[in-house]
Amino acid sequence: MTETASAGPVRVVLVDDHAMFRAGVRAELAASGVGVVEVVGEAADADAAVDVVRELQPQVVLLDVHLPGGGGVEVMRRQPSADTLYLALSVSDAAEDVIGTIRGGARGYVTKTITGPELVDAITRVAGGDAVFSPRLAGFVLDAFAGSIDVAAVDEDLDRLTEREREVMRLIARGYAYKEVAKELFISVKTVETHMSSVLRKLQLSSRHELTKWASDRRLL
């Protein structure tokens, strides 16, 4: 187990593909975690994250779920360490992301709506050996262990989709128009249409209505 904050500031590495978000988190931690949390490194993709974690051996890695080069689960798979704990920090609150990330080795999962003081608290708790979740997300994990969510079936279905198709699927299932999806993901409407057709074909569905029901039944919204 890692040393807790009582032995000095918790050494943290930030992993997120958006430089402005990393800068914002660093500033929040600097303001809210003086003497408690110290950011010692950053990475913007899976390959860089593996290298930075291996080199710096931080106590806690703040890890985005979706990253260029393989995602957060790939980072944990390639750089497992008893001395480094992973805390997912993601915009996604989808059940498959939460469950998949915890199964991949993360000690907690919080969303990007978290405040600076709350994030400092989550980091120190993870460093001390606790598991930490945003309140709504803890239910997903409990349901998965209780069998209320068929994790194997969800994984099998989602494995058919590419990461981009999953992003399009979630937004469409939540009621976004094609133009809104295109704006959110910085792609063209035509590309959204292509991904949507592929999603429906792979999941053997015929309409947006069926997709929304499919995603809702699996608690992916």
Each residue's pLDDT tens digit, 21-43: 999 999 999 998 888 999 999 99
* pTM of the entire predicted model: 0.66
Please state the CATH superfamily assignment of the domain spanning residues 10-146 in this structure. Response regulator (3.40.50.2300)
Per CATH, the number for 151-218 is 1.10.10.10
d(CA 85, CA 61): 6
Backbone angles phi, psi at 82, to 5 degrees: -70, -20
Q: Comparing 10-146 with 151-218, is the CATH topology the same?
A: no
Report the chain's mean pLDDT, rounded to a whole number.
85
Ordered per-residue pLDDT tens for the chain, 221 residues? 444 434 689 999 999 999 999 999 999 999 988 889 999 999 999 999 999 999 999 999 999 988 887 788 889 988 877 789 999 998 887 777 887 888 888 999 998 889 999 999 999 999 999 999 887 777 666 665 555 555 545 556 777 788 788 889 989 998 999 999 999 888 999 999 999 999 999 888 999 999 998 888 776 76
- Residue 109 CA to residue 90 CA, distance in Å, equals 8
Contacts for 68 with CB less than 8 Å, ≥ 6 apart = 17, 44, 45, 46
Boundaries of every domain in the chain: 10-146, 151-218
Q: How far apart are CA 35 and CA 77, in angstroms?
A: 31
d(CA 158, CA 214) in angstroms, rounded, equals: 12
| Cβ–Cβ under 8 Å, residues 71 and 94 | no
Are 164 and 66 in contact by the 8 Å Cβ rule? The answer is no
Residue with tokens 């299932």: 173
pLDDT tens string 160-195: 788 788 889 989 998 999 999 999 888 999 999 999
